[in-house]
C-alpha cells in the first residue's frame, strides 16, 4: 500500500513540474516579456519597424510636397540616419539632424521635392541597448503641369547700364508672391534691387537708377517645385549672371532730328536721325536695346500696319520695343536723317544697302551693347508703356516698388 502511495506522489510531483514549465513557456511573449524575461535575454529582438518609425510609410507613392518626413524611436536613441533624394538621375543627400534626446530626426528642408524617390536608412538602439537597422523608400507626387521662366539677359553676357532683368513665364502665375520669393537678384557691389509684376506672366527686376559700370549681377531661380498656379509647379533650379559694361545713353530729339550719344556721361557724337512721321510718331521715353541684328527683314504687317512696306535687308537693326520699334540703318531715304521724320515709328540713321561701318548707323552699331539706353524726347506720341520691351525706367521708383506681390 505504501509502495502504491509513493508512486502516486511521484506522479503528482512530475505532473506539477510539467504544468509549471508549460506555464512559464506560455508566459513568454513575442516582444521578449514574461515572468523570467526569457525573451528579453534569449529570445528574438523586436522587429525593426517596431523600434524605428519612419514617415511617410515605406513604399508610399505620390506623397505630397507638404508631407512631413520624420524618423523617430519610442525609446533608446537614433545612431545614424541617412536620407538620399533621387531626382533627374542624380542622388543628393538630404541634410537633417537628430534631436538632443536622440529620439527624432528631421530634415532641414521644409518641403519634399516633387517627382523624386527618397531612400531612408536608419540605425538605432532600443531601450534595452539592442541595435536595429531599417531601410525604407517612398516616392513623391509627379505633377502634370510645370512652368519655367525665360530670363533676359543671356547668361554671362556683358550689357549696358540700362539692362532690366526680365522673366517671362511659360504660363500664367496665380501665386505671384510664392514665385517672387523664389527669385533672388543680387549685385556686387551691392545695390537695392526690387521686383515688379507686369500681368501674371512677367516679373522684372531693376535698381532705382541705372547700374554702375562693372557691376556683377546674379539671378538665382529657386523655382523647382514652387506651386505658381493650381497644380502647376516650377521646374528650374538655376543661376544666371551678367556683367554691366560701360555706360552709354543716347538722347533722340525727334524735333531736332538728332541723337546725342554719351559715353560715361561725356558727349561722344551727335548723329542725324529720322524719327516717326506725323501719322506714325515714335514713342517718347526711355527704351533699352533688347537685341542687335546685323541685318533683318521689316514687314509692316507684323507690327499692325497694312502692306505699307516690306524691306528684306534692313541693316544695323537694334530692337527697342516688343511692338516693333527699332533703331536701324536707313538707305532708302538718304536725305531724311537730320532733315525730316519719315519712318513708321522707328529711329533711322544714315546707312548704305548691305550696311557699312563707315556710316552713322554702322558707327553707332559697333559701339552699342544690348542694355544700352535710347531716350526719345519731343515726339508727338505718348510715352512708351513700361511693359513694352524693357521700358520699366519710365516708372518712378515708388510706383515700381508697388508692383511687388510680396507685401
Using CA atoms, how far residue 64 sits from 69, 89, 143, 181, in Å, is 11, 20, 10, 21
Active site (annotated) includes residue 135: no
Which pLDDT tens digit goes with each residue over 101-123?
Answer: 999 999 999 899 999 999 999 99
pLDDT of residue 14: 41
Domains and CATH numbers, the chain: 48-139 (2.60.40.3780), 145-245 (2.60.40.3710), 248-391 (2.40.440.10)
CB 73 within 8 A of CB 111: no
C-alpha angle 222-227-230 in degrees, rounded to nearest 5: 160
* pLDDT tens digits, 264-281: 999 999 999 999 999 999
3-state secondary structure of 191: coil
| Helix boundaries (H) for 27-155 | 38-41, 48-51
Phi, psi of 179 (to 5 degrees): -70, -45
pLDDT for residue 308:
64
Q: What is the reported pLDDT for 6?
A: 45
At 159 the pLDDT is 98
The residues of the chain scoring below 50 in pLDDT are: 1-42
CB count in 10 Å sphere of residue 298 = 18
Per DSSP, what are the bridge partners of residue 327?
A: 318, 347
* 28 flagged as catalytic: no
What distance in Å separates the CA atoms of residue 263 and residue 250, rounded to the nearest whole number? 9
Residue where the block lists cell 515605406: 58
Helix/strand/coil for 213:
coil
Q: Among the options 196, 316, 328, 344, which is catalytic? A: 328
Helix or strand (DSSP H, E) at 10: helix 2-26
Catalytic residue of the set 257, 316, 344, 346: 346
Which pTM was predicted?
0.79
Amino acid at each position: 500500500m505504501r509502495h502504491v502511495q509513493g508512486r502516486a506522489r511521484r506522479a503528482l510531483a512530475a505532473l506539477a513540474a510539467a504544468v509549471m514549465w508549460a506555464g512559464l513557456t506560455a508566459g513568454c511573449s513575442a516582444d521578449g516579456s514574461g515572468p523570467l524575461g526569457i525573451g528579453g535575454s534569449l529570445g528574438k529582438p523586436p522587429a525593426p519597424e517596431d523600434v524605428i518609425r519612419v514617415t511617410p510609410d515605406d513604399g508610399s507613392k505620390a506623397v505630397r510636397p507638404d508631407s512631413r518626413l520624420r524618423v523617430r524611436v519610442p525609446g533608446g536613441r537614433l545612431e545614424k540616419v541617412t536620407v538620399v533624394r533621387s531626382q533627374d538621375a542624380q542622388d543628393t543627400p538630404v541634410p537633417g539632424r537628430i534631436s538632443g534626446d536622440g529620439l527624432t530626426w528631421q530634415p532641414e528642408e521644409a518641403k519634399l521635392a516633387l517627382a523624386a524617390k527618397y531612400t531612408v536608412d536608419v540605425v538605432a538602439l532600443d531601450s534595452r541597448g539592442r541595435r536595429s537597422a531599417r531601410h525604407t523608400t517612398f516616392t513623391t507626387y509627379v505633377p502634370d503641369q510645370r512652368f519655367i521662366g525665360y530670363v533676359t539677359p543671356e547668361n554671362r553676357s556683358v550689357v549696358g547700364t540700362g539692362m532690366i532683368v526680365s522673366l517671362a513665364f511659360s504660363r500664367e502665375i496665380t501665386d505671384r508672391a510664392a514665385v517672387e520669393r523664389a527669385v533672388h537678384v543680387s549685385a556686387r557691389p551691392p545695390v537695392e534691387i526690387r521686383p515688379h509684376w507686369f500681368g501674371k506672366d512677367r516679373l522684372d527686376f531693376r535698381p532705382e537708377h541705372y547700374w554702375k559700370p562693372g557691376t556683377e549681377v546674379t539671378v538665382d531661380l529657386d523655382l523647382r517645385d514652387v506651386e505658381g498656379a493650381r497644380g502647376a509647379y516650377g521646374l528650374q533650379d538655376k543661376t544666371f549672371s551678367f556683367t554691366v559694361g560701360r555706360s552709354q545713353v543716347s538722347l533722340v530729339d525727334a524735333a531736332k532730328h538728332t541723337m546725342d550719344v554719351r559715353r560715361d556721361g561725356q558727349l561722344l557724337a551727335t548723329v542725324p536721325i529720322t524719327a516717326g512721321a506725323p501719322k506714325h510718331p515714335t514713342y517718347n521715353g526711355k527704351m533699352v536695346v533688347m537685341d542687335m541684328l546685323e541685318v533683318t527683314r521689316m514687314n509692316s504687317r507684323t507690327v499692325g500696319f497694312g502692306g505699307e512696306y516690306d524691306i528684306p535687308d534692313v541693316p544695323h537693326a537694334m530692337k527697342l520695343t516688343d511692338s516693333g520699334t527699332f533703331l536701324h540703318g536707313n538707305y532708302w531715304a538718304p536725305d531724311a536723317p537730320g532733315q525730316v521724320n519719315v519712318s513708321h515709328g522707328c529711329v533711322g540713321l544714315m546707312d548704305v544697302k548691305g550696311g557699312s561701318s563707315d556710316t552713322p548707323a554702322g558707327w553707332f552699331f559697333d559701339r552699342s551693347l544690348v542694355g544700352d539706353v535710347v531716350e526719345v524726347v519731343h515726339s508727338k506720341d505718348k510715352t512708351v508703356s513700361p511693359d513694352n520691351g524693357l521700358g520699366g525706367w519710365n516708372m518712378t521708383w515708388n510706383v515700381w516698388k508697388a508692383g511687388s506681390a510680396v507685401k
